[in-house]
Amino acid sequence: MTRKEFSEKYGQILLPLVTPFDEKEEIDYKVYEDLIEYLIKNDLCDSLIVTGTTGEASLCTFDERVKLMETAVRVSAGRKPVIAGTGCASTKETVALTKKAEELGIDLCMVVCPFYNKPTQPGVYNHYKTIAESVGVNILLYNIPIFVGINIDAPTVHELAKIPNIIGIKDEAGINPTQVTDYFLATEDVNPEFVIFNGDDIMLLPTIVQGAMGIVSGGAHIFGHEIRAIMQAFAAGENEKAKELFVPLYRFCKSCGQNGRILPNSIMRPAIELVTGIKVGPARSPLAPITDEEKAVLVDVLKQVGKLS
């Protein structure tokens, strides 16, 4: 798949859906349907990602993840492409979940680097090679060392880019803001069409400057239109405008990281509820719910950036 073909099919804004929970921390599939309808109707993204980090995939069971995929495919009904997050801690389970996505007609899977086990780079390579050779879908590597504990190094991506159905990578760029460039340099000789996306809202501007083709953005639940305007302004050479449009998104992202929170869900979820009116519920344990003090800061920021009156 060429970069142009990827952009035409999946676009620039890939949105990882939050997974709604009720008061007993059970998935509320009806609210999930409502959220998908809202996002499609308001054109806040180009593609939908099921059970990514924002969807708290590591806190969901295998069967729950499959049912979320089924729901998204059915509700989107071809109006937006559905991408499945299928990464698990083990290669065996990742293969099984990716096969389930393929059975549902999903043709692109985003596979996070295996977590908890901290494999070596040869282990990472073997993991992805096994998955890619076990399925017919395309694979988007997902690098997020801040959560999984290891990085997918550029030489490893160089080797993985030789595998036909490993077509790109999403990089959570906060730890290494220039790694996007490392990935471009590492793959240009083996696959010049290798797709490279940013996966960190707060790093949107630094990465599109380096050539990132788009963003995987949890913040697009609220700031989808602004993210699109930022990328359009940059593409038009309107750098000052892009910077001005980026500041509200930046301030929102900073508010979601209060008190050292790494995964922003506990604060992002209330923000989604306040702006959209859709009750997605609190994050699943062990993520601690938002505090009164954090909510006060969040509400103030949302008001200042024009998302609440």
Place of tokens 């050479």: 237
Q: State the Cα–Cα distance between residues 290 and 137, nearest whole angstrom.
A: 38
Q: State the Cα–Cα distance between residues 17 and 35, nearest whole angstrom.
A: 8
Q: State the Cα–Cα distance between residues 232 and 239, nearest whole angstrom.
A: 10
pLDDT of residue 245: 97
Please check whether residue 151 is in contact with residue 159, taking contact to mean a CB–CB distance below 8 angstroms.
no
Q: State the Cα–Cα distance between residues 188 and 184, nearest whole angstrom.
A: 6
Q: State the Cα–Cα distance between residues 137 and 139, nearest whole angstrom.
A: 6
Average pLDDT, integer, range 206-214: 96
Please check whether residue 31 is in contact with residue 278, taking contact to mean a CB–CB distance below 8 angstroms.
yes
Rounded mean pLDDT of the chain? 97
Per-residue pLDDT tens digits for 59-70: 999 999 999 999
Say yes or no to pLDDT of 173 above 80.
no
Per-residue pLDDT tens digits for 32-43: 999 999 999 999
Q: State the Cα–Cα distance between residues 174 and 200, nearest whole angstrom.
A: 7
Average pLDDT, integer, range 165-189: 94
Average pLDDT, integer, range 110-115: 97
Say yes or no to pLDDT of 204 above 80.
yes
Residues catalogued as catalytic: 142, 170
Say yes or no to pLDDT of 175 above 90.
no
Q: Is 246 exposed, middle or buried (0-12, 13-18, 19+ CB in 10 A)?
A: buried
